[in-house]
Structure 1
Amino acid sequence: MHVLAADTDSGQPGKTLLTKEVILTDNASFITIDTGKDKINLETGVYFVAIEWLFIPFNEVISFSGSKN
Structure 2
Amino acid sequence: MSDQTIADLEKAVKRAKRIASERAGELHDLVEERLPAAFDEIPGIAAATYDACQAWAQAEARLKAALSAGA
Class of the TM-score when normalised by the shorter of the 2 chains:
under 0.3
| Bigger Rg, which one | 2
Higher relative contact order (CA 8 A, sep 6+): 2
User: Is the helix fraction higher in 1 or 2?
Assistant: 2
TM-score by length of 1: 0.20
